[in-house]
Structure 1
């Protein structure tokens, strides 16, 4: 059977039977209708009859997910004029779906149709999740920039754990994304349950991100939580400290053995990070204040005397000085 037969002579009743089948989606049927005038003339009336406002919203969402800009453009234009801000499917808008998947062309069409960049995901699980949040979490820089250009706020909080996208971008080691967010006035000192963007980078020993954030003016002595994300339980102080103290990688006081362990930095890359922090003005005295305030517990955790702990810390700083 030749292609020309399918596109010019295929019996209309068979085409209509296909159109009425439950085994083919409206989105696929629409794609088939676009292949030639013969099929379009037969299928389009069936599509028009089936495309109620509710169904049209579902088809638009599916087209946004599967990156079909031609279908999106058709549904957004008259006579369909589907609302780009309608919730459907799993309670997200087409802009959420396209932003999460990085479909630039679809995002541009939706924005041109006045899709709301501030619309949140209508779900208790994804609290206050906007399209920009999804684009950043998935690493789609081009989409994030489009949304920011249309007024998306880079400083809105989202999620059950009160997250911020600049912190997430720093955690994911995406300098390009952090730079994009800062270009649109993201707060460099924004703090979530894991601290500032610099705190995230230090906790991951991400030297490149640490240096970039410091060059952009991040507060070098901003305190980091030593129990990141903790909402309940028993904790042993110190509860927070500067990045310089964190990178010392001292063992945390043990408490009674039932306490939750604090996060501590592995020793790998310690001298390079400390050197960088000191170069950008980190104060040794601030770190030493924490050491001295909790000296007894820290020494006990290390299994050495208080004097021995102070000597250990001094030797760490001395090794950093020698490496300059």
Structure 2
């Protein structure tokens, strides 16, 4: 409705208001912003309440108004709190110029002592504002700040935001940090199928052989979720764990058979050197053949029978 009201009428209404809900509502009228900037400043100077004007200017990237308000704001704890709010809002909306102006003024971007997750860098990372993330990191923002909390990189690995992930790792984020479920960034990237994130994590020293609280490895999760490009990539890594079983009793070979990927089964056999006794194939592979037949995985059955024959011949010559 407000968008249909002429600016002259809106300005008359707003000029008789103190900063409050109605004035904030008027700020949503995009065509009215330039007129309101001087009005907001006038209200701020008259009422000594700079917060609405500074927050609005920071969201909109109105640098001249930001500088004017900061110049008229006397130093105090209340003023610092107002400036921190403005910085968080600028990070939330990806307003690079506003963030730069506030940082240049000396607005602190350090994490609060009370573990408030509204930390400027965390906000920019969550909203995937890459230029703002780069600016904050260049000014000394810390990527890992709260012991016991999942690192900022977790959401990036879950969502496949590889560029911001690279920025955090280059700034010192721990590629092997764990959450409460004992999942790592590498685990999440494998589970959600983000191959490029896996490659970046490896560049910065991520461990391939990690297990979470359910004893799931990255390979097991990639197989469960049928992330075949990730499975192929993990099979190329020497450190890839192919023998660990999760708490449900599945290992990579079981899951490859169940999903009917004969090519993966072959590659697992080509890499795996089982540390089992000579009758391992009877206990493990023969039941897998029956399971594969029940699921009509004929190609898998053929591969398994070939491997059983090889193992049987090898054991019979001992």
Give the TM-score normalised by the residue count of structure 1: 0.63
Helix, strand or coil for the counterpart of 1:224? coil
The answer to whether structure 1 residue 59 and structure 2 residue 53 are counterparts is: yes
Count residues in correspondence. Answer: 250
- Whether 1:96 aligns to 2:101 is no
Q: Is residue 19 of structure 1 aligned with residue 6 of structure 2? A: no
C-alpha separation in 2, matches of 1:45 and 1:100? 23
Aligned to 1:181: 168
- Deviation of 1:132 after TM superposition, in Å, equals 0.5
Check 1:47–1:247 CA distance in 2 against 1; reply closer, same or farther (3 A cut). closer
Q: Are the aligned partners of 1:68 and 1:106 in contact in 2 as well (CA < 8 Å)?
A: yes
CA distance in 1, matches of 2:133, 2:233: 30
Change (3 A) 1:222 1:79: closer
1: CA distance, partners of 2:210 / 2:66: 46
Partner of 2:109, secondary structure, is coil
> What secondary structure sits across from 2:216 in the alignment?
strand
**Closer, same or farther: CA 71–308 of 1 in aligned 2, 3 Å:** farther
5+ residue gaps, structure 2, are 1-7, 259-282, 293-299, 305-318
1:266 counterpart residue number? 225
Partner of residue 194, structure 2: 206
**After superposition, what is the alpha-carbon deviation per residue over 1:138-171, rounded to whole angstroms, capped at 9, x for unaligned?**
101111111112221101238xx92211111121
Question: Any idea what SS the aligned residue of 2:193 has?
Answer: coil
Distance 2:222 2:189 in 1: 11
Aligned to 2:266: none
Deviations 1:104-160 (A, max 9, x none): 0000011011111124498xxx943301001001101111111112221101238xx
Aligned to 1:68: 62
Partner in structure 2 of residue 106 of structure 1: 98
Match of 1:133 in 2: 122
- Give the unaligned 5+ runs of structure 1: 1-9, 35-39, 226-238, 249-264, 320-324
Higher helix content, 1 or 2: 2
Q: Distance in 2 between matches of 1:81 and 1:64?
A: 19
Cα separation, 2, equivalents of 1:51 and 1:139: 36
Cα distance in 1 between the residues matched to 2:41 and 2:194: 58
- The equivalent residue for 1:247 is 222
- 2:80 is matched with 85
Distance in 1 between residues matched to 2:64 and 2:26, nearest whole Å:
11
Question: 1:142 maps to what in 2?
Answer: 131
Measure the CA separation in 2 of the matches of 1:103 and 1:244: 40
What is the CA–CA distance in structure 2 between the aligned matches of 1:48 and 1:291, rounded to whole Å? 61
Query: Following the alignment from structure 1 to structure 2, what is the Cα–Cα distance between the partners of residues 67 and 208?
Result: 33
